[in-house]
Structure 1
């Protein structure tokens, strides 16, 4: 079975077994629906757990799991990542991509000149996410992930083409 990481348990919340999650997903409500199965990765083993509850608190998902509704049961999972079965992955619309699919892509400009690699996708409070690129000279830059700049994504070739705007790179 293949797994996709959707978040990381960063802390406990209260005494009833809720955990605070740093989410890597844009679909938290869907991922943590009551009754959904997710997997906590502990020492490279995937522990299946069933979601008992989900809510947002100060921008973070708070989730509890069936049979783990006590702080003493969940404390040990702080720092562990949460996964779903890849078969449960939501189908995206054309032009939408999962972060895990674009991190690592080689970035080229419209002339085909290699600029660097995508090392992360960073959320902002603004309208769009940013791509963190590591350029050929090891310098890191942020590029807005918008259609005006991102011209083409080819997952098969592992390449993203961007438009070089003045002052951007």
Structure 2
């Protein structure tokens, strides 16, 4: 396999089949779905550790899961054995805008507030109608930070640090 396994990012799991045409249902964190859809190919890690590199030819959605049909796997009999596989992407192969960052790339980052210093780790993210919300867990408890430029000052991917400027009213103790 040309792609090193450790370079790949885990973004989902095959949880079932859908229909007779070989579609696979993939469950992932909602914020990783955009990375799955931006992938030019997906890697499925089988139980024995072997990686399959598959090219999507059709995508869709069903009850919160994504559906994928892959080139050369156009019938249910060709994909049933793939249920349970981990789904990975190569971050270098994702089609994205220059500044686009995917959830799997920042999950677990240390979060540092301009005034309070380290406030915890980025443990989750969810969307509201207006914008994304970062969920940080640390010494201040759970802190919810709107993922907007006014609060997010930047990130250092190499150091795995997200820098923020959080107003006092957003801390649980305020």
What is the TM-score of this pair, normalised by structure 1? 0.77
In structure 2, do the counterparts of structure 1 residues 142 and 80 end up closer, same or farther at CA, with 3 Å as the change threshold? farther
Which is helix-richer, 1 or 2? 2
CA shift for structure 1 position 48 = 1.9
Matching residue within 67, 80, 95 for 1:62: 67
In structure 2, do the counterparts of structure 1 residues 26 and 127 end up closer, same or farther at CA, with 3 Å as the change threshold? farther
CA shift for structure 1 position 60 = 4.1
SS in 1 for 2:34: coil
User: Which residue pairs with 1:90 in the alignment?
Assistant: 95
Residues 1:100 and 2:108 aligned together: no
Q: Gaps (5+ residues) in structure 2?
A: none
In structure 2, do the counterparts of structure 1 residues 160 and 85 end up closer, same or farther at CA, with 3 Å as the change threshold? closer
The root-mean-square deviation of aligned C-alpha atoms, in Å, is: 2.6
In structure 2, do the counterparts of structure 1 residues 67 and 79 end up closer, same or farther at CA, with 3 Å as the change threshold? same
1:7-33, Cα deviation, whole Å (9 max, x unpaired): 3323221122111223524255543xx
1:109-165, Cα deviation, whole Å (9 max, x unpaired): 11252110112333x25232221211126x334322111211221223322222222
Aligned length: 162
Residues 1:132 and 2:135 aligned together: yes
User: Which residue pairs with 1:159 in the alignment?
Assistant: 161
What is the TM-score of this pair, normalised by structure 2? 0.75
Decide which moves more: 150-159 or 65-74: 65-74
Q: Gaps (5+ residues) in structure 1?
A: none
In structure 2, do the counterparts of structure 1 residues 61 and 101 end up closer, same or farther at CA, with 3 Å as the change threshold? closer
Residues 1:38 and 2:46 aligned together: no
